[in-house]
Chain A
Amino acid sequence: MESFKDQIYFKWYEDYSVSIFKYIYAIVQDPQTAEDLMQETFLKVYEKYDSIIEKTKVKSFLFRAAHNTTIDYFRKESRFKKILNALKMKNDTQPSTEKIVEVKEDGRLILQALKGLNNSQREVIVLRRIQGFSIKETAEILNWSNGKVKTTLHRADKNLEKFLLMEDENNERPSIVRL
């Protein structure tokens, strides 16, 4: 029998793990890394259970934890890459995407477009446009001001539009998709 806390905790996992995975995946775009970071996120949440108190929304809390975990990853990865480059090593051990995640056609296009954004723009787009958080919630998750969210979102939107329009022109997008 699980404790009450554990039941609640794993209820969170049941309810939010898929969204958290997709959020991280859209940011890091590597399925194995996304799974690792999602697991790390949930482990941190377990340990910080008692800080989920001041009427913070659980969903926002989880996404904030995911954001922090992802940011940490990028920082570490950046250092790691520098070391690799210095040693002229090559990391060829990319896991197979197919086994972990399946991305449908339009999704691939969007993910490709997201790659063209910097990390901040990508995060704000994923939280605001894909996960549907409000400006205020997005600001809380990222620990930014509302103004910074709006400005970054505006820039991200412009860059995405540019990318997708170019892509669509290249693909001669069927008019039906325009609805």
Chain B
Amino acid sequence: MSDRQLLDYKLEKLEDEIVWGEDRKRLIKSQLQEKIISKNKKKGIILHSEWGILLKNRFNPILSISVVSLMFLGISYFVGVQLNIFNDPEVKQANEPKENMPESLKPSNEKTAYIPPKQEEYYEDMTKEEILTKMINSVDYFETAVGEFKSYSGGDPGYTVVEYAISLKNQPGGFGKRTYTENDKNDTFYEYYKDGTVWNLIEQTHTYRQMSYSEGSSSDTLKIEDAFTVDHEGINVTNYRERPPIGSANETLFPYEIASNYTRDLNSWDIEKQNEELLGHNTLVIKGTKNHRDFQSFRFWVDKDTGILVKYETYNSAGDVVDYLYPTKLEINVPINSDKFTPNLEGYTSYELHLKDQPKMTTGNIDELIPEELKEQWEEAKKKPNETTVLELNGNWYIYAKKGYLVNYIEANGKEGTLYLAKTSAQKSQYTFHALAEGYKVETLKIVHE
């Protein structure tokens, strides 16, 4: 190994060499919770749970401070795509067959579906204020939406395809499927909500999370001057309308943050075209400028009767498209069977349980972790510091590395495991090091002194 490689190796291992305990993590978390409660109280935000801000009213009423405005746009996206929890190397091909989809996403019998009133397209000329007001209040202008779109963010190696179905009024609920594709590999994330419960499903790991939310009454139409204000320090403050607790389709159906970030300043954009048909919808085309590192202008296609952001593009100084959202389907006020809004969890395990099941290595003094049954053997091992002793009980491996070695890692190949022990530095060669390996699911452990 060259010095360069050795340096890289040591640097990569630094993460493992620093041990910050779970107890510290919990302690800081509780302090963090207290501080957030205290901050929220100072801001006059009513808390009616152990801590935090609940979605008090139907989905969520307008909150007066932007810092507490719930940003559902991307929340689920972040959970699925950006939280880096799609780490399972197992991937599936795009355009999966229907058989692989959760049951509730398959076409279902529509016999019980409610038929919403037909949505009429709007062809009258609209002012900037009128279209912006619709964008920040789109939740008021449709009952159901079913659609699909592809979105791309400049610089990202992959793109995202989203399918969704949302019902806001009759039997409210929704589902979304978000597939991020990169180099022909897909990460797929599903989300559902119905009757006060939200589910997130990660296809790659076959894990899910289930959370609660509160519903309440809807708030009134938000005016531009109430939505976009500036505080005494000159910082923009934004208020948002309520929307469903899943985020897959937020950037198109409820484009509140996009409206805030791109069109809050009425002088930075213009109406380019009053009427342009897109997927059977009459849209108004907005063209504006935006001072961003990667792009300098944008164009929005906004559905005139609902305020839905049907399509968008951003452009760099050369006029090339940098980011986009291209819809392939958008149906408003069509019947949806609410059965689609609950997932089939068969074959899925809870994310928390999944985490508990992951392999874990505890190093340092593990004397207190040695079970009663092994205590005698462990003490015997200590008497033979020049031998590596490995004890197993209930799938846990208790490792006493011989003097001058420490546990490097365990490689599992099916039920066969290999324990790699690395030499310590010269300064530590007179010490012995111990480790507890949990969750590796191996039946044998071959020892290799590197």
Contacts and interface: CB of A to CB of B under 8 A. Distances in A.
B53 A106 contact: no
Contact of A13 (B18, B24, B29, B450): B29
Given A39-B31, A110-B17, A2 B71 contact: no
Interface of A: 1-8, 10-13, 15, 17-19, 21-22, 25-26, 35, 38-39, 42-43, 46-50, 52-55, 57-59, 100-111, 125, 129-132, 136, 157, 160-161, 164-165, 171-174, 176-179
Interface of B: 1, 3-4, 6-21, 24-25, 28-29, 31-32, 35-36, 39, 49-55, 66-75, 78-79, 82-85, 153, 155-156, 198, 211-214, 238, 245, 257, 261, 323, 363-364, 406, 422-429, 450
B11 A58 contact: no
B193 to A, nearest CB: 9
Contacts of B153: 54-55
Contacts of A178: 1, 6
Contact of A3 (B9, B53, B69): B53
B82 A22 contact: no
A160 to B, nearest CB: 6
A177 B429 CA distance: 12
A46 B198 contact: no
Contact of A161 (B7, B35, B429, B450): B7
A129 B8 contact: yes
Given A3-B70, A172-B426, 20 more contacts: A3-B52, A4-B198, A15-B85, A26-B18, A39-B28, A49-B68, A52-B78, A53-B71, A59-B83, A59-B84, A101-B24, A102-B21, A131-B15, A157-B7, A164-B3, A164-B6, A173-B426, A174-B426, A176-B423, A178-B6
B83 A130 contact: no
Given A100-B24, A172-B426, A59 B10 contact: no
Contacts of B49: 1-3
A4 B423 contact: no
Contact of A55 (B36, B66, B74): B74
Contacts of B9: 179
Nearest to B78: A58
A109 B14 CA distance: 10
Contacts of B15: 19, 22, 130-131
Contacts of B74: 52-53, 55
Contact of A129 (B11, B67, B75): B11
